[in-house]
Structure 1
Amino acid sequence: MKRRFPSVSELRPLMQFELPTLDRRAARLARAADVWDLRAIAKRRTPRPAFDYVDGAAQRELTVRRTREAFDAVELLPRILHGTEKVDLSTMIAGGSSSLPFGIAPTGFTRFMHAEGEDGGAAAAAAAGIPFSLSTMGTRSIEQVAVVSGGVADGARRWFQLYLWKDRQKSLDLLERAAASGYDTLLVTVDTPVAGQRLRDVRNGMVIPPKLTLKTVLDASYRPEWWFNFLTTDPLTFASLTNTSQDLPTLINSMFDPTLSIADLEWIRSVWGGKLFVKGILTAEDTRRALDAGADGLIVSNHGGRQLDRAPVSLQALPEVRAEAGDEVEIILDSGIMSGADVVAALCSGADFTLIGRAYLYGLMAGGREGVARVIELLAKEIEVTMQLIGAATVADLGPHLLRSRQA
């Protein structure tokens, strides 16, 4: 093998050294290649009780594991010679448009995960042109989130999530405030008559605000940014409620009533004038009951495996719900989405739209608003590439002909 010295002209294109940046957050996020990388960053930078609240599930966490296995068992079918130079990721849902086929799911205690909380999530969603859902258990109020999202992009879509709970007057007050603040769609969660048994939270003593114990002080020693932000920003409260701070099971069990029935859903339908989606549907029977009560659409969700362990997997329940609801009813899939390929799998399985919960919070914990924007960016690119590879130019092109399921 003959050797030679390379010329300067050959070396010059290879010598592209990047200057170091002082923006360490941006550098961290740029290195994340997918949501799983952001999860790893979040785990390093967030105290264990907060991270485990997001990452954990009910009891033995069987449902959340089975959910992941179900997505991994889906095969998407590549189609040759179906040129798709440009892919349109926009879609219509709940009477309005979304630039991407996913939105941000309602999450509680969000500023416990990162001080920017709902501010970061709502602002990133508005900038991306996708819906942001505010939870009843949010740590920013209905009005505060409206200001943040409306200030970033005019006409940003805001959805409000309401639990079926005991006090109808308080529920009505929340609905009136949401309508006055421009929330166009109501998500009514029906799978929380009582709090699920989330054992990680029990073992961590998860409360808001966190207790300063020897354990938490040691935890803070290598997560100083989280604690600095926590101690130097306004106190955590459930901002749309009564500014109370309680442990999770106590708060939920004081608000919710296991005797609530379909009549309570019918009452909400009677007082809410916008679109109404029922969240927590997993069977044909409950599909029919929700539609008969006046729901405009359904959210197929097992609450991320955080309520009933051994509950059906949302992706596997979707065909049954679709068959009962028919093609005209809009269906959103929630629970378990961690990639753009997961979004495509859900849309091919019969969903019209999807929501991201854990994935959103991993990004938030990894880097605040910028981290949420990175999640959205990663998922959008993954959806685009996946659609190009299976020969789908628009969201409407996705369907069951583009996938099959194998045994996990």
Structure 2
Amino acid sequence: MTATGFSTLVEQARGIAELAGRRAGKAEAARTPDADVIAALVAAGAARHFVPASLGGSGGTFAELKQAAVVIGAECPATAWCAVVAGLMTRAANHLPPAGQRQLWAGGPDVLIAGGVTPRGTATAVAGGWLLSGAWPAVSSSERADWILLVAAVRGEGGPGQRVCLVPRASVLVERTWDDVGMQATGSHTVVAEQVFVPDPMTFPAGLLTETDAPRPGPDGRPVPLPAVNTFLFCLPMLGAAHGALRYWRRLTGAKLRGRADVYDPVVAHLADVFARSSGEIDAAELLLDRVARVVDTAPAVTRSDVARHQRDCALAAELLVRAVDRLMRASGTAGHSTGSVLQRLWRDLHTASSHATLQFGTAAAGYARAELIGAG
């Protein structure tokens, strides 16, 4: 239990995982998160995890979110993705002015926020607020959200710059465009706004999300800039998928090894190599991610150097996880590649998650070198 008396997301993660695993096929076919699974996530505290305690939040940590997301992701990475995105968007919404925060959480902390932080539309200053227009693709959970956070380029007298706007789900349209081979159950469709009025208290400058020199305190009172944690959160469903893939692979492989105890048997030797290498890479990735969680949860300040190292570590962890699960898939035989196999679903979801722009190692490596070599000089 948390200090506020809520049963934690960690405590309920196993039950959510089992439900999400059973509903995964249905959710994939519908190309949207299962309604009962989302309700279970919200009831367990996924939406309130990073809401300020003064507004009923549960005072959650990044390490706790990691623990829950990995458990859920082992059965359904798409559901884990929805959970971490909810946490990320909620933490971003903490940058609203006090009046906006009170409006957003007026009915309680269990408000599911979806979002698109890439500036795709425009925000035009008008009396008392902004007019928001544009189309934002790949907004996960968009059909199930209560509110949606959107970043837009400022146009007219309010510019230059970018503006973050929080709008009720009912104020926008959702075009069902999500057709990726993986993460189908995230429902990452396109959100369309057409001259939607957004009051001033429900907006803030987008620069507050990326500030690394003097970031504002978050709901836990700690200044953790978004670039220090977004890649970390995107890795968590992948780590869960890898754990789940290893578990399911072991079940498939057990039948092959039954009665073959000879260590010199080439089949045994091959499968032993697959198991040892893949499990080791998964462990290595988790150690990298655990360090990120420890820093953002406990360090007195998160520096630019920390941000660069986190992004490097997360991109490297993503590569390790893809390599591990690819190896498991190659050694799974036709049973693992069956369209009804859980293993192939986890593999598809992991590959889609790994394609996220923030998890590409070349970009992360350049940022790390710039911070540590050029900056140090």
Query: Which category describes the TM-score, using the shorter chain as reference length?
Result: under 0.3
Bigger-Rg structure (1/2): 1
TM value normalised by structure 1: 0.23
Counting helix residues as a fraction of each chain, which structure ranks higher?
A: 2
Choose between structure 1 and 2 for higher RCO, CA contacts under 8 A separated by at least 6 residues: 1
